[in-house]
Amino acid sequence: MKFTKTVSSTAVGLIIVLMAAISMPAFTQSTGRDRMKNIDREQQVDRDRDRSRDRDRVYDRDYTKDRNRLRDQSMDGKGGKIYGFGLMTQEERNVYRQRIKNAKTKKERNEIREEHRKEMRERAREKGITFSTGN
C-alpha cells in the first residue's frame, strides 16, 4: 500500500510538472503578445500626441498670421490706427488724416473720429462686416 501511495503521489507530481511545462510556452507567448500590444498602444498614443502638437503649431502659426494681417490692415501706415482702415481708399485715409491734423481742439478731433466711426460702421453693415465692440 505504501508503494502505491508513493507512485500515485509521484505520478500526480509528475503530471503537475508536465502540465506546467507544457503551459509555460503558451503563458510566455501570451505575456509577449500583451507586451507587444502595450508597446503598440504606447506608440499610437505618441503618434496621436505628435499629430495633435503639429495641428496646434499649424493653428498657432495661422492664427498669428491672421492676427498680423488684420493688425496691418487696421494701421494707417504711419503708426496710428484708423477705424475701418480696410474699408477706406488711400484718398479717404489721407483726407481723414488731414482733417484730424487740422482740427483745432481735442473736442473737434473727437467729433471727427465719431463721425468717421459712424460712416465706417454703416459701410461695414452694407458689406456684411462686423467690427468688435472694442473699436
pLDDT tens string 27-79: 555 677 788 888 888 988 889 898 888 888 888 887 777 676 665 555 554 55
Q: How many separate domains does the chain show?
A: 2
99, 113 Cβ separation under 8 angstroms: no
Say if residue 96 is in the same domain as residue 59: no
pTM reported for the whole predicted model: 0.42
Which cell is 88 given? 477706406
Do 116 and 134 belong to one domain? yes
When mean pLDDT is compared over 18-22, 51-55, 127-131, the highest value belongs to 51-55
- Cell matching residue 22: 507544457
Share of the chain above pLDDT 70, in %: 66
> 106-127 vs 90-102: helix axis angle to the nearest 10?
160
Amino acid at residue number 67:
R
* 11 and 55 housed in the same domain: yes
Helix, strand or coil for residue 75?
Answer: strand
Residue span of the structural domain in which 28 resides: 1-73
- In angstroms, the CA 102 to CA 107 distance is 13
- Distance between CA 65 and CA 56 in Å, rounded? 14
Whether residue 7 is found in the same domain as residue 28? yes
